[in-house]
Amino acid sequence: MIEPTIVWFRDDLRVDDNPALVAAAERGEPVVALFVLDEESEGIRPLGGAARWWLHGSLHSLSQDLASFDITLILRRGAAQRVVPTVAAEISAGAVLWNRRYGRPERDIDATIKTQLRGSGVTCGSFAASLLYEPWEVQTTTGTPYSVFTPFWRACRELPHPRGPLPPPSSALSGFDGAVTSELLRSWELRPTSPDWATGLADTWTIGEEAALERCEEFIDDHLAEYTTGRDVPSQNSTSGLSPHLRWGEISPHRVWHAVHSAEAPAQARETFLSELGWREFAWHTLYYFPSLATRNLRPQFDHFPWPPCDPAHLSAWQRGNTGYGLVDAGMRELWQTGTMHNRVRMVTASFLVKNLLIDWRQGERWFWDTLVDADAASNPFNWQWVAGSGADAAPYFRIFNPERQQSRFDPRHRYIARWAPEYIDDDPPEPIVQIAPSRRAALRAFENVPRKQHAP
């Protein structure tokens, strides 16, 4: 009797280096690929607009890649706890395999499904694919999670190298030819219709596994050698641009790690890049141990921060890139048009919102969540809290990015500004909505309410 294997795809929309798919091939039974759009389960954060747009393209691309193995990607919408066992029962699946997720609600869902399926005699298997190091593998000598990046990354680097990428399974994979109903991708309406705000995103990105692998290769050939200095210059295209591909798992961090580690580039450039992957690991490590990262201050002292009522005009000026500060406005417009923003400018725009406009970091985090194509459940809140000063190993609160000085330092020839906010290179630039020095002083006064030491519980 045929007992098909379901490979349940989630944040791993790729064929290359996909341990669940490799294990399915080893099982030797026909394979059904499944993706569940779960917008119902409690605790699952609804995707932002730009991420939904990306997901459409990524699922389209994955279904084409799987078709070359005669595997059909089955699309279902609904609570995963209901849908996955239903599909398993419909096709009398012998096994359901997946690559792990690390957010608390997702882990709870997966654990429940595993118990349910095992209870009905279905084999379940989960694999490590999205992170280089499982969060429980990297702990301090006292068995607690790391809260500071440098020792965290040192500990990671002292472990054996992450495993090498697994090649795509070859002829051992075969599709299931029984009937399984699938919803139509376009019926999910993941892409905007009217107005179609995503044309700039479409001009900027090529979605999918093939594009991700090409981008990785091009980055290594053309930019890795100068990464250490080039990564801070927003007008240069010197960073990898891999973040949305990593977010959706179109490329694995193992594939990227090994390609960079063995590349012919100066050791310092390679290490700097690998440590950026390390920040991604650290963000996920933090989310694993602190699941409410997007809503609660990691450092509880920050609960005492006296946020004034949010000024909607200021928030809107920031979102639209009309603050009167060239670098901030250029970044916010780059974000709106392309679904991304250079890392240096992300730090400057975030600092401006929190420390010059005194708007709670959660407002900014939500805007980025909605507009970034790489919006990531760990990296986004982690970095917002880092900038705000409330997070793990955060920049100290008094370190406030001055947008004018940042501009002279990182965009001295105004190339980035000229591209996204050209009115700032005119003689008559827009008026600032707040002055830097007094708003900075107000932020520092408010910060005095934050206790220096954590109160004993």
Closer to ligand FAD at the Cβ: 173 or 387?
387
Figure out which of the listed residues 375, 394, 400, 443 binds ligand FAD, where binding follows CB under 6 A: 375
Q: Which of residues 39-78 bind ligand FAD (CB under 6 A)?
A: none
Figure out which of the listed residues 95, 132, 185, 283 binds ligand FAD, where binding follows CB under 6 A: 283
The Cα 281–Cα 264 span in angstroms is 24
What's 299's DSSP letter?
A: S
Q: Would you state the structure tokens that stand for residue 59, as one six-digit string?
A: 């699922």
166, 17 Cβ separation under 8 angstroms:
yes
Stretch that binds ligand FAD, among 27-35, 82-90, 165-173, 276-284 (CB under 6 A): 276-284
Q: Would you state the structure tokens that stand for residue 61, as one six-digit string?
A: 């691309």
CB atoms within 10 A of CB 140: 13
Figure out which of the listed residues 23, 277, 294, 394 binds ligand FAD, where binding follows CB under 6 A: 277
| Residue 167 exposed, middle or buried by CB count within 10 Å (0-12, 13-18, 19+) | exposed
Nearest approach in angstroms of CB 373 to ligand FAD is: 9
Among all residues, which ones are annotated catalytic?
276, 279, 307, 343, 361, 384
Q: Please report whether residue 360 would count as binding ligand FAD according to CB under 6 A.
A: no
Is 110 in a helix, a strand, or coil?
A: helix
Nearest approach in angstroms of CB 247 to ligand FAD is: 6
Q: DSSP for 8-70, please give it.
A: EESS---STT-HHHHHHHHHTS-EEEEEEE--SSTTPPPPPHHHHHHHHHHHHHHHHHHHTTT
Stretch that binds ligand FAD, among 144-152, 262-270, 377-385, 425-433 (CB under 6 A): 377-385
CB atoms within 10 A of CB 160: 5
What's 124's DSSP letter?
A: E
Q: Which of residues 227-266 bind ligand FAD (CB under 6 A)?
A: 231, 239-243, 246-247
Nearest approach in angstroms of CB 455 to ligand FAD is: 28
Residues comprising the chain, all counted: 457
Binding-site size for ligand FAD (CB under 6 A) equals: 27
Q: Which of residues 88-117 bind ligand FAD (CB under 6 A)?
A: none
Figure out which of the listed residues 153, 176, 205, 368 binds ligand FAD, where binding follows CB under 6 A: 368
Interacting residues toward ligand FAD by CB under 6 A: 231, 239-243, 246-247, 276-277, 279-280, 283, 343, 346-347, 350, 368, 372, 374-376, 379-380, 383-384, 387
